[in-house]
Structure formats: C-alpha cells, structure tokens
Structure 1
Amino acid sequence: MSDDPAVTRADLLAVVEQSPAAASAHDRTGWVGLFTAGGVVEDPVGSRPHRGAAELTRFYDTFIGPREITFHRDADVVVGTARGGIVVRDLELEVRMSAAVVMRIPAFLRYDVDIAALAITRLRAHWELPAMVRQFARSGFAAVPVGLALGRALIGNQGVSGALGFASGFAGVGARGKRHLADLLRSATTGDEVSVRRAVGESALVTLGDDVPISSSDLTARLAGARWRKVIAAGNTVAATVDGDGGRGVVIADLGNRPLAFSRLRLFTEH
C-alpha cells in the first residue's frame, strides 16, 4: 500500500476504477482527464506509447470510443512506492467490436498513480496482440468490415507512423519468453532455490514491487507452495498470476531477446 498514511488502498482503487467507468460511459473527456499532464498509455505493452492529452485523445478515439468494453475483474494487487501507488489489475477484457464480433482478452493492467494528484501517470496493458488477431480472424467474414473500420480509424487518428507503432506490439519474446518464465515459476513454487538462482542469473534485478530489492532465495521463499497460471507475453515482458496462502500476486518479468534472459523481475503482492 501507499507509504502516505493519508492515502488508502480504497483511494487508489477509486482512481483506477474511474478508467473503466469512463470507457463504459463513452466519456472521452472524463477518461483523458484521469491522467496527469504527461500521462502515458502503453496498450499493449510493446507497442509505441501514447503520451499527453492530445495523444491519449487520439488513442481513445481509435480503440475505446467506437466499441463496447466490459472489464471482468478477477483481482487487484495494490502496492505503494517511493513515488506513488501501483494497482495491478488481473482481469479479462470483453471487447464488442460489432454485434457479431466479440473478443475476450486475458490481460493485466498496471496503473501507476500519482498520490498527490490522485491521477494516473501511466497505464501499461499486458495482453497478447497476436492472440487477439487470431481470435479476431476466427470470426470469419463478420470480421472484415470491422477490421476495415479499425484500419481507417488507426490511420485517420494516428497516421502511418501511429499504425506502425501499434504494429510493433507484434514483436517481442513471445512463446519463448512465456516458457522461460514458466520454468522459473515451476522451480520457485516447488521450492527449488538452486534452479531459481540459475534462471535469474547474475545481472537480473529482482524486486518486491518496483522499489524493494530481494534475493532469488527470498523470491523462492515467497512463491514456494503457490500456484501459477495465466502467462501473458507482451513485447519483451511476460506476466503471470500467482496464488498463494497470502492471496493473489502478479509476477512481471522483463527479458532480453538475444540471448533470452531475465533483466528484471517484479513480484507484486500485498503481503
């Protein structure tokens, strides 16, 4: 939770909850206004970020305004940092593109909140763009007019460079990165500290949240006996749900591609 005793878990969740509420209400001004002046959206992680009110407005007009989005929340992990608060939301997005095309997208949404302003400084959406496109294609002919409309909106609102920036979300560590994190979680949840230390390597930074460094042995101790699932690769990050006796946690790992190796591991948990 926040280091500021005047700001509660409920306060941070209240800020975050305004985002799906504004999206569902098609309130563009309200949604953009939830962010600080330099607020950033990276959706999905690995695509080019959108920064500031003008870019966030174009993002809204392209991806949020034209469709119905339902946020099926599973759990929230809320932690404090030296700079603010973080809410990691474990959820599924239901995106109604048309009457015939409805997508269900497993995701993690990380919201960074400025405690003083009670506003969002950054939103990172971890979901798999290639998997979404495959799901979209399975809609068959019904997907054709929807895809054409999305393409026109993308080019019209963000230009060719914006479209290419969105397409960069296809790149990343993909299935190899997911296997790499799954191997580490398998070792950690079974208490195999030696394998965890070997997987983490010498140079990776492991932290509790963003700020508190922990050792690979501490990571193993915290995850031993937990259950892991829902592994999602977005860009050069892989995220996963971990359920233990202390409740829900989320692991977010940053990886280098050549060679495939962890550069940063974050464990978000409230306990």
Structure 2
Amino acid sequence: MTPDRAEVLALVRSSPAYVAAHDKAAWVGIFASLHVVEDPVGARPIRSSDAGGLGRFWDAFIAPNQIEFEVEHDWVDGFDVARDVTIATMLRPGVVVRTPAHLLYETAYEDGVLKVRRMAAHWEPRPVYRQLMKPSRAHLAAAAGQFRHLFRTLGVGQTVQFVGASRFAGWRRKHRLRARLDGVTKLIVAGKTVTATCVVDGAPAAVIDGRTFTDLA
C-alpha cells in the first residue's frame, strides 16, 4: 500500500499532541502490535515482546511531567519521518530541561491502519543531567524527584540502564561527520550513532541512521 504523506505526518504529529494532553491510551494506541521504541538510542529498547513496556515508559517519563515539542523541521521519506526538535520538559517543582533531539519514526499499515513500528529518539543524556545539576534547591529537588520516580516505576536495573545511555560513540565520530557535511547546525551522539541537521544542495536536511532526509524530490 502506498503511503499518504499527509496521513504519515498526521500520525507522527499525533504523538506529541497526546503527550501534551497526557492521553496515555491514545499515545500507546499509535504503535503497531510489533514495535520498538529507542528513547534514548543507546538505552535498552522497549519492544512489543515486553508486555506493558510502553505503559511503563509513559508512567516513568511522561506522566509526571509537562512536555512540549518545539519542531524545527520535518522530513518525510515514504513511510518514515525524521524530525529536528527540541523537547522542553517541565519537572516538578517547575524546573524546565531543554533537550535537542533528532527523532525517527518508521510507520507501516496494520490491518489497514497506519501505525508506528519504530521510534528512535537521538538525544544526549549528559547535557540534560548537567542542566539538573545547578546548585539551587529547585534543581536538586527536580533531579532527586525524577530519579526516585524512575526507581519506583522502572526498578533499579532499568533505571541504571537508562542512566548508562550517557555513554556515547565519542567526539571523534562527531567531528568526522561534521567535516563531511555542509551547513551543520546540530550534531547529536546517541549510543553508537551520530545524527546531524545540515544542508544538502541548498536545502535543509538531516542525517539519521546513515540515511539522508531532505525536502528535495
């Protein structure tokens, strides 16, 4: 079945809308029965074989916070959408953390309904942690509260794996990608991958998972 660009974009854009509305059931419902969520890339993925995994992810990271997606650009390639975004997360007690990210959504039809089969969120945990390490009572309370919540909802093992995602491929790989691209405005190291926002033939582009997404036909 040929993908409809408007339908693909509408599905992808529904994800942050449901997050903002705190509509857990609707958000879980956009994913295919066989799915994988990597958020962040480098942490243990959430797979459909992990019963209730999406729900636990929601409870751990979305439910207690106010989250807004500031979208810089969307690129559509068939069933797939790449997004250049900054995610603004308000943690209790009112501390805002801003996370530059590249998001990759891979979609497919399931029983005639378009669903997300893979979502890969490329972002760097270390800069996020640094934002929480400011010597103020509010920031210390936000960091402590978030990690207490993670331990309660995910358990020690999964929380440690999430924190371990701050290990990344290294700056050399980041600099090599910058050297071979034009007009780079954002570089992100997540897990073993490096992603970029750049310019290709004068048009905005993104390089994610070794693929180049552009607005050019």
- Secondary structure of the corresponding residue to residue 43 of structure 2: coil
Aligned match of 1:36:
32
Instruction: Report if the CA contact (8 A) 1:77-1:248 is conserved.
Output: no
1:169 aligns with 2:114: no
Work out the percentage of aligned pairs sharing the same amino acid.
39
* Offset at residue 99 of structure 1 (A): 4.6
- Secondary structure of the corresponding residue to residue 138 of structure 1: coil
Aligned match of 2:60:
62
Alignment of 1:77-92 (within 5 A): 77-80=75-78, 85-92=79-86
* Offset at residue 182 of structure 1 (A): 1.2
Distance 2:135 2:107 in 1: 37
Q: Which residue of 92, 95, 101 maps to 1:107?
A: 101
Q: Which residue of 130, 133, 141 maps to 2:129?
A: 133
Distance 1:176 1:112, change over 3 A: same
Which amino acid is 1:63 matched to? F
> Cα RMSD between the aligned structures?
1.7
* Offset at residue 37 of structure 1 (A): 1.6
Instruction: Report if the CA contact (8 A) 1:174-1:235 is conserved.
Output: no
Distance 1:115 1:58 in 2: 25
- Secondary structure of the corresponding residue to residue 173 of structure 1: coil
* Offset at residue 140 of structure 1 (A): 2.8
* CA deviation vs aligned residue, 1:11-53 (integer Å, no higher than 9, x gap): 1001111100110000111111111123221111111111236
Aligned match of 1:71:
69
Distance 2:5 2:135 in 1: 40
Distance 2:196 2:97 in 1: 21
Instruction: Report if the CA contact (8 A) 1:79-1:270 is conserved.
Output: no
Aligned match of 1:210:
none
1:154 aligns with 2:154: no
1:250 aligns with 2:206: yes
* CA deviation vs aligned residue, 1:217-269 (integer Å, no higher than 9, x gap): xxxxxxxxxx222011111111111124553211125xxxxxxxxxxx32122
Distance 1:251 1:37 in 2: 28
- Secondary structure of the corresponding residue to residue 41 of structure 2: coil
After TM superposition, the structure 1 stretch with the greater mean CA deviation from structure 2, 23-32 or 37-46, is 37-46
* TM-score, length basis structure 1: 0.73
Which amino acid is 1:134 matched to? R
Distance 1:123 1:98 in 2: 26
* TM-score, length basis structure 2: 0.91
* CA deviation vs aligned residue, 1:29-86 (integer Å, no higher than 9, x gap): 1111111123221111111111236011000001011111111111101102xxxx11
Count of residues in correspondence between the two structures: 212
Distance 2:104 2:83 in 1: 6
Q: Which residue of 3, 18, 21 maps to 1:22?
A: 18
- Secondary structure of the corresponding residue to residue 146 of structure 2: helix
Instruction: Report if the CA contact (8 A) 2:95-2:138 is conserved.
Output: yes
Instruction: Specify the structure having the higher radius of gyration (Cα).
Output: 1
Instruction: Report if the CA contact (8 A) 2:132-2:140 is conserved.
Output: no
- Secondary structure of the corresponding residue to residue 230 of structure 1: strand
- Secondary structure of the corresponding residue to residue 85 of structure 2: strand
Deviation above 6 Å: which 4+ runs of structure 1? none
Which amino acid is 1:61 matched to? D
* CA deviation vs aligned residue, 1:190-241 (integer Å, no higher than 9, x gap): xxxxxxxxxxxxxxxxxxxxxxxxxxxxxxxxxxxxx222011111111111
5+ residue gaps, structure 1? 190-226, 254-264
